Amino acid sequence: MEMHELVKSLEALDQKLVAIKSMLRLAEKEKEITALEAEVNAPGFWSDQKKAVGKSQKLGWLKEEKEHWGKLAKEIKDLLEMAELDEADKEVNLREEIEKQYQSLNKQVSELEFNTLMSEKYDSQNAIVAIHSGSGGTEAQDWAEMLLRMYLKYCEKKKWKTEMLDESKGQEAGIKSAVFRVANVPSAGAQGKFAYGHLKSEHGTHRLVRISPFDAEKMRHTSFALVEVIPEMEETPDIDIDAKDLRIDTFMSGGKGGQSVNTTYSAVRIVHIPTGITVQCQNERSQLQNKETAMKVLKSKLQKLKDEKEDEEKQKLRGEYKSPEWGSQIRSYVLHPYHLVKDLRTDYETTDDKSVLEGELDNFVEAYLRWLRTHHHIIT
């Protein structure tokens, strides 16, 4: 790249960063930082340890985002000044060094721009992911387990912490269902954040077409699995659950956790009778822990249901609402007679099915988030 081209590229990068500032809503976040700092410094803030940790973590993230933008803005301006001086001074040639720094800054700005796509209410939250095999017995259960493996690998790449809450194994192979928690890990640097913001793209029905390894005649099979993704709510002040609306069952756990787990009724299933929502947890050691975790998941599901109903009403008023189909297919994975993974919402596709099933989902996630913004689905 010639020096005059570098100068123009740096000017464009500077303008792009200014646009990103408004998309990041940094002015609003500065007010939020001030309010949170006042809370953190108030007497008795640490009396509720769990709540305090969540708020201090959020404060740290907001400060980090503000400082990162400021640091990038300064570095781009300094490099632009250096490039303009180098262009004017023919005796000194720093083009290679300036271009190298430009490439690094351009990458950082692109990453920051991607973060602006995480602007929905719960995007920064932890996530609860549930996978349910469709009809089709062993074949469908194997597909559900393939999806579980894919997501656990994706979470590992993003440096999130995962914790299995419930798992029901298939009789021959695979899983009937699995529920796991995905937690942000702020100490993981640029990675480890926005668990729900990334994983919400996976909510829906996933379809697999392949030659079944369980079919002696090697026939082609189509299998389905449903993936549910909800944000984990630390606080659900709008959700008040009447004990009379709950049916709580206990049963012997089949999960991990030592020998005693399988000999005591530690597993818990909770049914919210008015909505029919059912949650269960069996991977904690005690019945009390399983009940607490199941209640937290139930409250998160009820909060999401409430938010979705409110959003439906807003869309009806604007004339945009279309009834969502619970079983609507979002992505196809074709392994035979050709190789193709295609998202049916965004039309993003790849023939590299092996990488996708190994947890390479970033391109699908980004395509979905950009599609979401373009189609005005973001709740304001």
pLDDT, tens only, 266-288: 899 999 999 999 999 998 778 99
Of residues 191 and 56, more confidence is placed in 56
Quote the number of domains for the chain.
Answer: 3
Same domain, 210 and 65: no
CA Rg, the chain, in Å? 24
Residue 181 contacts residue 126 (beta carbons within 8 Å): yes
Residue 366 contacts residue 117 (beta carbons within 8 Å): yes
Position 238 scores a pLDDT of 75
CA 213 to chain CA mean position, Å: 31
Same domain, 257 and 284: yes
Same domain, 86 and 226: no
DSSP 8-state symbol, 133: E
Phi/psi of residue 15, nearest 5 degrees: -65, -40
Residue 129 contacts residue 229 (beta carbons within 8 Å): yes
Position 263 scores a pLDDT of 56
**Amino acid letter, residue 177:** S
Query: Residue 191 domain-assigned?
Result: yes
Of residues 320 and 374, more confidence is placed in 374
**Amino acid letter, residue 329:** Q
Position 343 scores a pLDDT of 97
**Amino acid letter, residue 270:** I
Residue 294: give the domain boundaries.
243-317
**pLDDT range class, residue 376, cuts 50, 70, 90:** low
CA distance 336 to 105: 42
Same domain, 144 and 179: yes
**pLDDT range class, residue 23, cuts 50, 70, 90:** confident
Same domain, 146 and 288: no
Phi/psi of residue 191, nearest 5 degrees: -85, -175
Q: In what order do the strands lie in the sheet with 267-272?
A: 246-251, 267-272, 277-281
* pLDDT at residue 254 is higher than 70: no
**pLDDT range class, residue 353, cuts 50, 70, 90:** very high
**Amino acid letter, residue 322:** K
Same domain, 142 and 111: no
What tokens appear for 319 in the block? 């004339």
CA distance 128 to 343: 22
pLDDT, tens only, 295-328: 999 999 999 899 888 877 766 665 644 444 445 7
CA distance 78 to 99: 13
pLDDT, tens only, 194-237: 999 999 999 999 999 999 888 878 888 999 999 999 999 877 77
83-92, 96-105, 156-165 — which is least confidently predicted? 83-92
Position 379 scores a pLDDT of 41
User: Could you write out the three-class secondary structure of 307-344?
Assistant: HHHHHHHHHHHHCCCCCCCCCCEEEEEECCCCCEEEEC
Give the CATH number, domain containing residue 25: 1.20.58.410
**pLDDT range class, residue 190, cuts 50, 70, 90:** low
Position 321 scores a pLDDT of 45
**Amino acid letter, residue 93:** N
